[in-house]
Every structure is written in structure tokens, then in C-alpha cells.
Amino acid sequence: MAVEAAKFGWFRDYGPSRREMQTLVASGRELLEKIRNLRATEEKVLTSDIQECARQSGLLRQMTEYFNENGSVRKNIAQADIRLSEAEILVRKAEFDKARALLEDGRASIAAAQEAAAKLLSRYLDKGQLARWKKWADDTIADSKARGSTAFIVSKLERKLHIYRKGMRMASFDIGLGRFGLSDKMYSGDEATPEGRYKIVQKYPNGTFYKALLIDYPNEEDRQIFAQGKRSGTIPRQAGIGGAIEIHGGGKDSLTRGCVGMENKDIDAVYEAAAVGTVVTIVGTLSVEDSILAEVMKFKRQ
């Protein structure tokens, strides 16, 4: 245009400059559209990835409601949530590189939480252990049917106490466990809930925690496991085997030291159904197929 402007007026021709400018503007608009599309795609992909990580974090957070041995799990979840929130803000600002870096940090924290959770609950995924628990429950139900008697089955992972009569499930109630309730009790003071087939040996209408049913922990099998643990060194030399394990009231959300806690209105029904000699079978779980564990292990394998 400067060259044309320097010419005598009759000889000026701005057509080529105009066409070149139009081409340049069109190219600029095309480039801008490409940038907008790339930005939209990047935003969509990152947002989707952040949402998936948030879903996984939510599942792990939900899992922490199943057990109290969860310090490392919760710590990593909290770190992941912070990173994901920051990444989401950066995505909206189109700072994609920074957002991607925070997303990767969040993923690392989620992976650490998964590992911590899997380590804590590894025996709930052990086929041999699951088969053992299933056999205990099946034998208890079969015995209830054969004898026409009442039996209780406590499933720790599901947080349920089931009442069976003549082999048929008659009722189910929510329960609470101690600080390390999902672990199998090994010795006094470990705050774990025992697993095995027990019997009610005493009914207390006015116990420390409302009504209570005392079971015969430790039984002979518990004593054998305890002795083996002492010999192998897995149980502290000075530790005792413990006892005084009850199903009692006081609320399912109040932490116990290895007992099974229930709401007072629920222990009323269980207490009424119980008698001295009633079988109480305590298992880790009846099934992991419909539990939060199945979801966690599914995305852990991905």
C-alpha cells in the first residue's frame, strides 16, 4: 500500500493489497478458529480426566467409612482433592500445562491411596479367606435349619448383623465396630473384632452400654492361633489373649474396643431373639462383589 501511495494518483492500484489483506484476515480467522477448537478440546479432555479422578477419589473416600485404619488413605485423598480442585481452576483459565501437572500429582496421590487401602484390606480379597468365611456362614445357616434354632451372623465389611431362624434370614441390623474392627482379633488391646463361630454365654439386661450379649471369645481355635502367634513372634510376648467381647447397645457409631455396637432400639430386638447358647458367627464379609472393594480393585487394575 505504501508503494501504491507513492505513485501518481491515476496509476495507483490497491486491489492486490486489498486481496492480500483479505487473505491474511481469512487466514487469521481460520487460525483463531483452530486455536479455539484446540482449546475447547484440551479443556474437554482435561475436565473429563479431572472428573474421573474425582470419581475415584470419591470411591476411596466412601471406602474410609468401612474401616477406621485409614490414616494414610485419607491423607492421600485429601491431597488428591486439593490438586484436582486447583487443576480445575487452571483449566478454566486455559493454563493447561499447569493444570495437567496438577492432575498428574492428583493421580499419584490417588494411586497411593489405592495401595494403602488394598494393603489394609488384602485379606478381604484373598480367595482362601473368603471361602473360609463363606463356609462358616453356610454351616451356621445349615445348623440353624437342621435344629430349627436361632443364629446370628455378623458381617464386618457390610456392617450388618443378620438373624436367622430355622435357616431363614428373619432380620438385619446395622452395626458398628472398633477402631481396628475389620482386622481379626489376635490379642488383648488390639481393638480388633474377633472372627469365628461363637456362642452367647451371658445376657446383660443392664450393661455398661445398655443391653449386652457376651460371647465365648476366646474359644479353643482362638487359643491355638494365639499360642502360635506367641511362638512365631507375631504377637507381643507380654500380650494377653483378651476377652469380654459383646454385642451391645450404646449406638453403632460409637467406637468400641473390639465389640459389636448397635443402636438401642436394634439391640432390643436382637436381645429378645437371643438366648444363652445362641450361635454367633462373625465373618469378615459374606461377599465383596457388591461392596466398595469391588469398585476400588476394578479401577486399580486399569
Task: Name residues whose C-beta falls within 8 Å of residue 244's C-beta, 6 or more positions apart in sequence.
Answer: 214
Q: Which of 11-20, 45-54, 64-73, 183-192 has the lowest mean pLDDT?
A: 64-73
Task: Name residues whose C-beta falls within 8 Å of residue 88's C-beta, 6 or more positions apart in sequence.
Answer: 47, 50, 99
**The C-alpha cell of 283 is what?**
465373618
Question: Does the predicted TM-score (pTM) go above 0.75?
Answer: no
Type of residue numbered 21: M
pLDDT of 113 strictly over 80 = yes
With beta carbons less than 8 A apart as the criterion, state whether 232 and 224 touch: no
Fold of 127-288: L,D-transpeptidase catalytic domain-like (2.40.440)
Burial state string for 189-215 with b = 16 or more CB within 10 A and e = fewer than 16? ebbbbbbbbbbbeeeeeebebbbbbbb
pLDDT of 302 strictly over 60 = no
Burial state string for 36-65 with b = 16 or more CB within 10 A and e = fewer than 16? eeeeeebeeebeebbeebbebbebbbebbe
User: What gap in Å lies between CA 282 and CA 260, rounded to an integer?
Assistant: 10
Position 290 confidence tier, pLDDT thresholds 50, 70, 90: low
Q: What is the pLDDT of residue 207?
A: 79
Position 264 confidence tier, pLDDT thresholds 50, 70, 90: very high
User: What gap in Å lies between CA 246 and CA 240, rounded to an integer?
Assistant: 18
For residue 144, give the nearest of 167, 171, 172 by alpha carbon.
167
The 279-283 sheet, strands edge to edge: 168-174, 160-165, 150-155, 279-283, 196-207, 210-215, 246-248, 260-261
Q: What is the pLDDT of residue 68?
A: 60
Q: What is the pLDDT of residues 121-134, one digit of tens each?
A: 778 878 899 999 99
Q: What is the pLDDT of residue 59?
A: 81
Higher pLDDT, 58 or 272: 272
Q: What is the pLDDT of residues 184-195, one digit of tens each?
A: 888 888 888 999
Position 206 confidence tier, pLDDT thresholds 50, 70, 90: confident
Structural domain boundaries of the chain? 2-120, 127-288
Q: What is the pLDDT of residue 69?
A: 58
CA dihedral 209, 215, 217, 220 (to 10 degrees): 170
Q: What is the pLDDT of residue 65?
A: 66
Across the range 230-237, mean pLDDT stands at 87
Q: What is the pLDDT of residues 79-111, one digit of tens each?
A: 999 999 999 999 989 899 999 999 999 999 988
Higher pLDDT, 6 or 153: 153
pLDDT of 156 strictly over 60 = yes
Percent of the chain at pLDDT above 90?
44
Q: What is the pLDDT of residues 64-85, one digit of tens each?
A: 766 665 677 888 899 999 999 9
